[in-house]
Amino acid sequence: MDDSGPKTERGPLTDYDVVIIGAGPAGLSAGIYARRAGMSCIILEKGVPGGQVLTSPKIENYPGFPEIEGMKLMDVMAEHARMYVDIREGEEVTRLVRSGERFEFTTTNGRYSSRAVILATGSFHRKLDVEGEERLSGRGVSYCATCDGFFFKKKKVVVVGGGNTALTDALYLHSMGCEVSIAHRRDAFRADRHLQDSVADRSIAILWDTVVEEIVGENEVTAVKLRNVKTGAVDTKPVSGVFVAVGEVPSSQLAAELGVRMDPGGFVTVDMSFRTNVPNVYAAGDVAGGIRQIVAAVHGGAAAALSAFEDLAKPYYSRSGG
């Protein structure tokens, strides 16, 4: 009988040096570097390789590719990674525990064991949940100003939010030559004072006490319906882009189960080498916060894998708790 596939939940554990959870840019990069370092490794991905990049219609800031669709870029990355490491698609980790010096994983298809784990589980954008948002995503609705701002030069856009990300996005878009407005549901920003001062210095329009009711357009965004929460007045504002910056939600549940330290927003806390406070647990990509760019995720995945190799070859933890 061929038993080369995943074991059943009641069967024995399949052992690896490193198990990587998530097959976005960070996870794929980690897989390549882990295998090239000589470690046995597997990538577990609950969906398909690519992560949030799959939803990007066009990418122009990844070195080596002046212009490429997000899906195509991730196809190239996944094909490269498969030259080195097995990627198990559609296999979600449902349970992760530490057992002595090893980690044990239960997935929807099998059970695994490893000496180290790299969390590359990503994050997802908090959405407005208004009419038109889903349909026009990638067609004027964006969740990443640094990814898509270039396409809106000299055009009218609205940034939705009032935190650091929203104001940073507004400043970035303004520097790109966009005509920017900020819609914020409250009458004061939560962002740092220096960002508020920069917005004021550039005379960026602010729509206080305002929420988005609907994003308008057939094949692309043409306008946004806004409602003042105090007066109830509804206004339709012509825009070409809506940049949603109301927060990111990290996929850090598995990290929490291992006792990994996280910041108040739920993002995993790592050091410069992408180590967490838990020995032999590493995190890279969006789940670790920081700059949410493909190139940064690739760097993090590679660094996490090399840290794992170093630690498994010569354990670095002589202190408890990290």
Instruction: Clarify whether 148 is annotated catalytic.
Output: yes
pLDDT digits 0-9 by tens, 260-274: 999 998 999 999 999
Q: What percent of the chain has pLDDT over 90?
A: 77
Residues 124-169 pLDDT 10s: 888 999 999 999 998 999 998 888 898 999 999 999 999 988 998 9
Can you spell out the DSSP letters for 257-274?
A: HTT--B-TTSPBP--TT-
Q: Please, are residues 103 and 15 in contact by the beta-carbon 8 Å criterion?
A: no
Whether pLDDT at 3 is above 80: no
In the residue annotation, 147 being an active-site residue is answered as: yes
- The tokens describing 117, both together, are 């784990």
Short-list 111, 48, 32, 92, CA closest to 254: 92
Catalytic pick among 17, 148, 169, 311: 148
pLDDT digits (tens, 9 = 90+) for 167-213: 989 999 999 999 999 999 999 999 889 999 999 999 999 999 999 99
> How long a stretch of residues is the chain?
322
Of 2, 15, 75, 147, the catalytic one is 147
The CATH number of the structural domain formed by 141-244 is 3.50.50.60
Question: How much is the pLDDT for 87?
Answer: 97
Rounded CA-CA distance 63/314 in Å is 34
Average pLDDT over the chain reads: 91
Q: Write out the residue limits of the CATH 3.50.50.60 domain(s) in the chain.
A: 14-124+248-313, 141-244
282 CB-near residues (< 8 Å, 6+ apart)? 116, 117, 118, 119, 270, 274, 275, 276, 304, 305, 307, 308
- Which CATH number applies to 14-124+248-313: 3.50.50.60, 3.30.56.10, 1.10.1270.20, 1.20.120.80? 3.50.50.60
158 vs 180: CA distance, rounded Å = 6
Q: What is the pLDDT of residue 13?
A: 85
Reported as a single tens digit per residue, the pLDDT across 82-131 is 999 999 999 999 999 999 999 999 999 999 999 999 999 998 888 999 99
Token pair of 213 as six digits: 């009711």
Q: Which of 3, 86, 129, 144 is catalytic?
A: 144
Query: Could you give the angle at the alpha carbon of 226 between the alpha carbons of 225 and 231, nearest 5°?
Result: 135
pTM, entire model: 0.73
* CA 91 – CA 74 distance, rounded (Å): 18
